[in-house]
């Protein structure tokens, strides 16, 4: 998709319509009076009304539908959007949503991965209706908002493409190579820990989950430093490249779509790339544990006891409750680096999807202030989350192992998303603000819709990037934590 801007005047082309987003009918007549040469039949109306919880959510869906349905080049008048108090944010959201809606996975280009790397192929595999030109008619200089919105949508679509690639083209090694190329392209520091270094750090969770794989496990860290002498914030993304369930093997329907079990990792990579491109004034440590949960004679078994990086031991009751095992080591790594806050994104539990469905992500937090700030970002970019409780009652069952400090699964207890969050909270020191996002239901669209293609969604990439950027720009009170990530 090509984007052009025309300020203060219509650059009319006979075959192009003028798309007119509006909120109230009176704005249509006002606009026609302002542009008397414009023929009414050339105006394509795009009504934005508050059909969702926030106007931003409603607008995002409207513009994603528009992007998906787009078949011809056209012009878009920003006349009404520029009148809004928060016009720059709204125009940025519009541009992001159009780019997201235009996305499809170019499956016919998948064979390119036989000859080039995933990173080099990502633009080829990311179809954003490149034959279409949008001319945005502005009455003030909105170039920055338009550019930011396009860049956000494009980074989200890169994450979606990464999630949509079949596992036989994207094992641990290929994912690490993609992360390396992305980091180098954006001048970021990257470190990749393999089995030997993971053993030295006693990362028993990561190593145990990956025992059935022929490839090494990786713990990828990427450092973005945009604010010298300020604290670091940790982002953690679950990177299970394929989840067969281990010896608690999934059935056919359960194994369908398990290539998407790395969407948390893909989305977090996109967040850091976006922060780097925005030159955000914030310091971020990205930590991604990357494994495959498959079967072999050496795979971990029910009843095995492992020692995690924190020193706590864990009884593996269920080999298909693997996400929490790799995340706990990633959390401990971030804690040891002295970060101020931790935010993890994971396709963790089907219990969360059963509770909230496929449109709202689950959020857990140990700090009301941190949660409320993040919720502001979620609303600002038009996404949806719902808070679920953390409570000591969810810790007690996982502390009742006969052979270890903790057990990774509690059969028959229900509240599976809360139990999993409680397990992760065991590794979070009380002084560190923490957000856990469970995105099993929202990370993948399994049926076609009016506004998004089947496949990976890039969910919460925009919200996390917005939160991180604003975390750096606003002067929040310090909790006294010092950072070692330099």
Q: Which residues are catalytic?
A: 250, 324
Query: What HEC string does 57-94 produce?
Result: HHHHHHHHHHHHHCCCCEEEECCCHHHCCCHHHHHHHH
* Cα–Cα distance, 100 to 459 (Å, whole number): 11
* Tokens 């976006």 belong to residue: 274
How crowded is residue 313: how many other Cβ atoms within 10 Å of its Cβ? 15
- Close Cβ partners of 354 (under 8 Å, ≥ 6 residues apart): none
* Tokens 């495959």 belong to residue: 292
Query: What tokens appear for 30 in the block?
Result: 């006002």
* Tokens 């493409």 belong to residue: 161
Cross-strand pairs, 81: none
* Cα–Cα distance, 10 to 18 (Å, whole number): 9
Distances (CA, A) of 125 to 34, 200, 358, 448: 42, 38, 25, 19
- Close Cβ partners of 200 (under 8 Å, ≥ 6 residues apart): none
* Cα–Cα distance, 291 to 316 (Å, whole number): 17
Across 265-294, b (16+ Cβ under 10 Å) vs e yields bbbbbbbbbbbbbbebebbbbbbbbbbbbb
- Close Cβ partners of 128 (under 8 Å, ≥ 6 residues apart): 1, 99, 102, 103, 154, 157
Q: Judge residue 478's burial from the number of C-beta atoms within 10 Å of its C-beta, 0-12 exposed, 13-18 middle, 19 or more buried.
A: exposed
List the Cα angle 409/412/416 in 5-degree steps: 55
* Cα–Cα distance, 142 to 355 (Å, whole number): 41
H or E stretch at 99: helix 87-101
Phi, psi dihedral angles at 344 (to 5 degrees): -115, 150
How crowded is residue 69: how many other Cβ atoms within 10 Å of its Cβ? 11
Can you give the length of the chain in residues? 486
């Amino acid at each position: 998709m090509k984007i052009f801007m025309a300020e203060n005047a219509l650059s009319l082309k006979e075959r192009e319509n003028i798309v007119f987003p509006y909120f109230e009918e009176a704005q249509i007549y006002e606009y026609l009076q302002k542009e008397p040469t414009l023929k009414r039949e050339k105006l394509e109306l795009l009504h934005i009304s508050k059909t969702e919880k926030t106007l931003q959510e409603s607008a995002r869906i409207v513009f994603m539908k528009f992007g998906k349905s787009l078949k011809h080049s056209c012009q878009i008048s920003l006349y009404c959007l520029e009148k809004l108090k928060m016009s720059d944010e709204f125009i940025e959201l519009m541009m992001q949503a159009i780019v997201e809606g235009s996305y499809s996975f170019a499956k016919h280009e998948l064979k390119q991965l036989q000859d080039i790397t995933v990173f080099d192929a990502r633009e080829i595999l990311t179809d954003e209706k490149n034959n279409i030109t949008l001319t945005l008619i502005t009455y003030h200089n909105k170039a920055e908002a338009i550019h930011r919105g396009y860049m956000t949508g494009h980074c989200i679509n890169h994450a979606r493409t990464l999630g949509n690639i079949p596992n036989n083209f994207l094992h641990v090694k290929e994912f690490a190579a993609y992360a390396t190329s992305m980091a180098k392209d954006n001048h970021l520091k990257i470190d990749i820990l393999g089995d030997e270094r993971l053993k030295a750090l006693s990362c028993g969770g990561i190593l145990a989950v990956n025992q059935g794989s022929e490839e090494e496990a990786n713990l990828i860290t990427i450092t973005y430093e945009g604010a010298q002498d300020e604290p670091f914030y940790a982002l953690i993304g679950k990177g299970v490249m394929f989840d067969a369930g281990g010896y608690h093997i999934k059935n056919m329907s359960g194994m369908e779509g398990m290539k998407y079990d790395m969407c948390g990792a893909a989305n977090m990579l996109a967040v850091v790339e976006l922060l780097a491109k925005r030159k955000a004034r914030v310091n971020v440590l990205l930590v991604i544990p990357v494994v495959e949960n498959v079967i072999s004679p050496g795979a971990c078994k029910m009843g095995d006891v492992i020692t995690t990086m924190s020193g706590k031991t864990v009884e593996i009751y269920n080999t298909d409750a693997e996400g929490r095992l790799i995340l706990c080591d990633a959390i401990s790594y971030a804690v040891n680096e002295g970060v101020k806050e931790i935010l993890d994104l994971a396709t963790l539990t089907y219990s969360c999807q059963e509770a909230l469905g496929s449109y709202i992500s689950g959020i857990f937090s140990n700090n009301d202030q941190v949660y409320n700030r993040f919720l502001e970002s979620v609303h600002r970019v038009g996404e949806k989350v719902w808070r679920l409780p953390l409570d000591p009652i969810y810790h007690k069952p996982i502390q009742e192992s006969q052979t270890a400090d903790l057990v990774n699964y509690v059969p028959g207890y229900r509240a599976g998303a809360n139990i999993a969050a409680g397990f992760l909270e065991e590794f979070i020191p009380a002084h560190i603000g923490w957000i856990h996002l469970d995105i099993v239901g929202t990370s993948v669209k399994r049926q076609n819709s009016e506004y998004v293609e089947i496949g990976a969604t890039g969910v919460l990439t925009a919200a996390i990037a917005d939160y991180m950027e604003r975390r750096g720009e606003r002067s929040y009170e310090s909790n006294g934590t010092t950072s070692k990530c330099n």
